[in-house]
């Protein structure tokens, strides 16, 4: 069997008394779009920050394309394009300048930079807006610009933390379309987090449901829905409710804060 893109075995992570991640096992296969699903505070961001080597983890827990994250931190980072939840684009630069900056930061060879920047903007549908300052972009365009920034170094693994949070439904649809286009064109592995169950059901090859630091219910959306045994009209949200034993609404109280943060931050200075 081919080597997985990401392999996580028994990941624990604690912030003080809070067990953010409590024994997660996870394999992301090469070339798939994998969605880590769950409400605010479930431990999704902590898990992906550990995978991207942004949090310290012990050896022999996480491998990315066969490299141990604890031992090969910088090598792992070079394989990953990461779009965090917080805004990473600079409003005072144009679209093309924002992406060119990442090309330099990630050591894209000078001779290839112009072409790679243009390609990344093109795949995100931003060619026409490339010369405009990013502060004139809509929230959806900024998100796509951040995706272009992450793509310009041609990473083998694209990691996206809540790529559609705070966007209106049309902009959300457009971001999902672009993610699918990237995968179709490059065969890149995509690992993302989202709390939008319906979108994950449509767009992810496989999902893992996360709740209170634990990951259960791993499979294709169809497998999980069929496993529930409630007929074809059941949804991933139903699976999640059954798994967590609670209502999503209660767990999503804190979500409003995240949305508000993204909205406020959405106005680039
Ligand atoms: N830097 C930190 N310091 C203290 N506690 C933290 C920190 N980061 C996360 N936590 C806590 O760890 C738990 C898991 O948080 P995490 O951000 O991983 O969840 P999440 O599923 O990604 O939710 P979100 O959508 O808010 O990012 C939460 O209880 C959170 O409050």
Is 20's C-beta closer than 6 angstroms to any atom of ligand 1? yes
Query: Which of 8, 12, 19, 42, when mutated, tests ligand 1's pocket best, judged by the most ligand atoms within 8 Å of its CB?
Result: 42
pLDDT at residue 256 greater than cutoff 50: no
Give domain limits for the chain.
6-265
Residue whose CA lies nearest to ligand 1 atom number 3: 15
Is 208's C-beta closer than 6 angstroms to any atom of ligand 1? no
Q: Which atom of ligand 1 approaches the CA of 39 most closely?
A: 21
Q: What's the burial of 75, exposed, middle or buried (CB within 10 Å: 0-12/13-18/19+)?
A: middle
Number of Cβ within a 10 Å radius of residue 25: 13
pLDDT computed for residue 252 by the predictor: 47
Burial 111-150 (b: 16+ CB within 10 A, else e): eeeeebbbbbbebbbbeebbeebbeebebbbbbbbbbbbb
Is 38's C-beta closer than 6 angstroms to any atom of ligand 1? yes
pLDDT computed for residue 167 by the predictor: 87
Cα 193 to averaged position of ligand 1 atoms, centre (Å)? 13
Q: What angle do CA 220, 166, 13 make, to 5 degrees?
A: 60
Is 48's C-beta closer than 6 angstroms to any atom of ligand 1? no
* ipTM of the complex in this document: 0.95
**How do 33-37 and 206-211 pair as beta strands?**
parallel
pLDDT digits (tens, 9 = 90+) for 91-126: 999 999 999 999 999 889 999 999 999 999 999 999
Is 140's C-beta closer than 6 angstroms to any atom of ligand 1? no
Which of the four pLDDT bands, split at 50, 70 and 90, describes residue 258?
Answer: very low
> 169-186 vs 139-151: helix axis angle to the nearest 10?
20
Distance CA 137, CA 143 (A): 9
The correct CATH number of 6-265 out of 1.10.3470.10, 3.30.465.10, 3.30.70.20, 3.40.50.300 is 3.40.50.300
In the block, tokens 């990401």 appear at: 6
Q: Which atom of ligand 1 approaches the CA of 213 most closely?
A: 14
pLDDT digits (tens, 9 = 90+) for 191-221: 999 988 888 999 999 999 999 999 988 999 9
**How do 18-28 and 6-15 pair as beta strands?**
antiparallel
Residue whose CA lies nearest to ligand 1 atom number 26: 40
pLDDT computed for residue 88 by the predictor: 84
Residue whose CA lies nearest to ligand 1 atom number 5: 15
Q: Which atom of ligand 1 approaches the CA of 38 most closely?
A: 21
Number of Cβ within a 10 Å radius of residue 176: 21
């Amino acid at each position: 069997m081919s080597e997985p893109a990401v392999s996580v075995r028994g990941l624990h992570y604690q912030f003080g008394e809070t067990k953010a991640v409590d024994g997660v096992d996870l394999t992301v296969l090469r070339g798939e779009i994998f969605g880590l699903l769950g409400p605010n505070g479930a431990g999704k961001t902590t898990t992906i920050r550990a995978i991207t080597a942004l949090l310290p983890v012990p050896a022999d827990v996480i491998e990315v394309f066969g490299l141990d994250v604890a031992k090969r931190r910088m090598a792992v980072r070079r394989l990953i394009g990461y779009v965090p939840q917080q805004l990473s684009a600079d409003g005072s630069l144009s679209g093309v300048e924002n992406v060119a900056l990442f090309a330099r930061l990630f050591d894209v060879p000078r001779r290839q930079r112009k072409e790679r920047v243009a390609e990344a903007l093109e795949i995100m549908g931003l060619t026409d807006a490339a010369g405009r300052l990013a502060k004139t972009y809509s929230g959806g365009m900024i998100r796509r610009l951040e995706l272009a920034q992450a793509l310009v170094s041609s990473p083998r693994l694209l990691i996206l933390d809540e790529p559609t949070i705070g966007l209106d439904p049309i902009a959300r649809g457009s971001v999902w379309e672009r993610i699918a286009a990237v995968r179709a064109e490059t065969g890149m592995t995509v690992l993302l987090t989202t709390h939008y169950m319906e979108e994950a059901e449509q767009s992810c090859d496989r999902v893992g449901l996360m709740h209170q630091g634990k990951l259960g219910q791993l499979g294709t959306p169809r497998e999980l829905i069929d496993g529930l045994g409630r007929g074809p009209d059941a949804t991933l949200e139903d699976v999640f409710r059954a798994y967590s034993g609670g209502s999503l609404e209660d767990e999503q109280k804190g979500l409003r804060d995240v949305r508000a943060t993204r909205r406020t931050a959405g106005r680039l200075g």
